[in-house]
Structure 1
Amino acid sequence: MFYKNKRDLLNSSITELKKELILTRQREKTCPAGWRIFSSSCYFLSNDSGSWTRARQDCKDKEADLVVIDCNKEQTFLSKLTKSETWSWIGLMDGSNEGTWKWVDGSSLTLRYWEAKQPDNGGGDPKWGEEDCAHIRTGKDTEENWNDRSCNATLRWICEKLA
């Protein structure tokens, strides 16, 4: 009887330890190689350049999407993502309704980090065309670093997915 109680106690302890291990693993957040973690998301800055549509497809191929910036801390993190100024697509556009900016997840734009006098839809200059997609200028000494560009412009991009 003594050994049976000891064995039952050990089995119970093992079961509890297994549960703790599973919970610990679930709490540990990791990102794939080449991605950077911040808060509960993983971020990938492309080495390639392309249109906004190509950028979004590349993110989707990586089981992610273009970044949705939804808090000041995330904006600060992304602003410092590179040391030198890098123009990168983010998941923001107004192609469906001019002037109504929406994120790729369907949410409305609430926080704004536009550069001065932006967005300007090309300022009416035909050489810029319609500017319906947004990019961020990382590595700049400011957090007001968003600009609108033609979705066909060739820029790098930032993907985001949950860690």
Structure 2
Amino acid sequence: MAVYENASEITVEMMNLSDASARTAASKSHSDEDGTTVPGGKLLRCVAVSFCLLCVLQVALNISLRLALCIEENYKTLTEERDELKRKLSNFGECHHYLNQGWVYFSGSFYYISSIEKTWQDSRDDCVQRGADLMIINSEEEQNFTGQYQKIMWIGLTDRETEGVWKWVDGTLLTTSFWRSEEPNNNGGNEDCVETNDSDHRNTWNDASCETKKFWICENKMAV
């Protein structure tokens, strides 16, 4: 009878051991499935996390670069607008000054027409003292502009440096001219400066002696 009881106890103990082994195997299998005990599992998780962090950093870097470019472009635009505004304000102040001094505005320049007469050089010196120079005529519109004053006036054209080589006071050679018929003729051998007379005709230039006293016209071209 005792033998049977011991055999029963042994059987129960063996069944308990079998259940424990099964639970251990199941637990191990579950652990393998969730990756907690798979060899290298922690390393894989670290790599995955690092890759995600790199992706986040890359996105942040791209956003930062785009913001920096946008800020740079806006700053450049604002700087250009500021400079343009300064230029316009400066031009406005300059316009106000010249108009108060009796200058006349036409096609991008201010002109001063004298009320007294001087030699060509003295006339030019007066223009320079006013921050300008004798008028340079580059177009038919400017030529017509001078005709409205009905005065014989010195303009900034001379061949005093080389006879027959006409240059403007800024050193440029004459290209567009409005000479009167049979002019220039260097009458008397000393007509090296140019006047524009009060004729209503298109061509009004005449070479004359630079020592003759005449009215004059100064020009100050506005900065663009």
Q: TM-score, normalised by structure 1?
A: 0.77
Richer in strand (by share): 1
The CA RMSD over aligned residues, in Å, is 2.2
Alpha-carbon shift at residue 21 of structure 1 (Å): 5.0
Higher relative contact order (CA 8 A, sep 6+): 1
Distance 1:23 1:150, change over 3 A: closer
The residue number in structure 2 matching 1:75 is 143
Identity rate of aligned residues, in percent? Answer: 37
Richer in helix (by share): 2
Give per-residue Cα distances to partners, 1:97-134, cap 9 Å, x unaligned. Answer: 11110000000000110010100101xx4xxx510000
Alignment of 1:1-163 (within 5 A): 19=82, 21-22=85-86, 24-25=88-89, 28=92, 30=95, 31-32=98-99, 33-80=101-148, 82=149, 85-122=150-187, 125=188, 129-138=189-198, 140-163=199-222
CA distance, structure 2, for counterparts of residue 153 and residue 133 of structure 1:
10
Structure 2 residues without counterparts, runs of 5 or longer: 1-77
Greater Cα radius of gyration, structure 1 or 2: 2
CA distance, structure 1, for counterparts of residue 211 and residue 218 of structure 2:
18
CA distance, structure 1, for counterparts of residue 119 and residue 129 of structure 2:
15
Give per-residue Cα distances to partners, 1:5-60, cap 9 Å, x unaligned. Answer: xxxxxxxxxx89x9475464356572342100011110001111111010010000
Structure 1 residue matching 2:197: 3-state secondary structure: strand
Question: How many residues in Structure 1 have an aligned counterpart in Structure 2?
Answer: 139
CA distance, structure 2, for counterparts of residue 60 and residue 107 of structure 1:
18
CA distance, structure 1, for counterparts of residue 86 and residue 202 of structure 2:
39
Structure 2 residue matching 1:112: 3-state secondary structure: coil
Distance 1:161 1:27, change over 3 A: closer
